[in-house]
Amino acid sequence: MAVRLMCTGIQSKDLLVPSDIPGYTGYTKLMTNVGQTSNRGIELQLNAWLIETKDFSLNATFNIGHNKNKIDKLASGEKKNGFSLRPGEMTS
């Protein structure tokens, strides 16, 4: 039997998304920094070799995981939980 436990933690800054801009600029989109997110998770995997003979083998794998994603900061004009932020406001 084998057991594997993985923990992850990632923080993403400078989340760039395309924003519409007036066509007279010569472009249709501008990449805008809208904020920062964090992702955390844990995963458990169990492997078992149930039958192993010369001509046949059978193994089973069980895997379960949990992830949590969070918006840490959001630039003004963007929406967080369905609410717009006031201009110049940055959440944390």
Answer whether 39's CB lies under 8 Å from 71's CB: no
In tens digits, what is the pLDDT along the chain, a chain of 92 residues? 999 999 999 998 887 878 788 888 888 888 888 888 899 999 999 999 999 999 999 999 999 999 999 988 887 665 555 544 444 444 44
Handedness of CA 3, 8, 17, 74 (dihedral sign): positive
What is the pTM for the complete model shown? 0.56
Q: How far apart are CA 75 and CA 25, in angstroms?
A: 23
Cα dihedral value 17, 21, 23, 27, nearest 10: -40
Residue 70: which of 90, 32, 40 has the closest Cα? Answer: 40
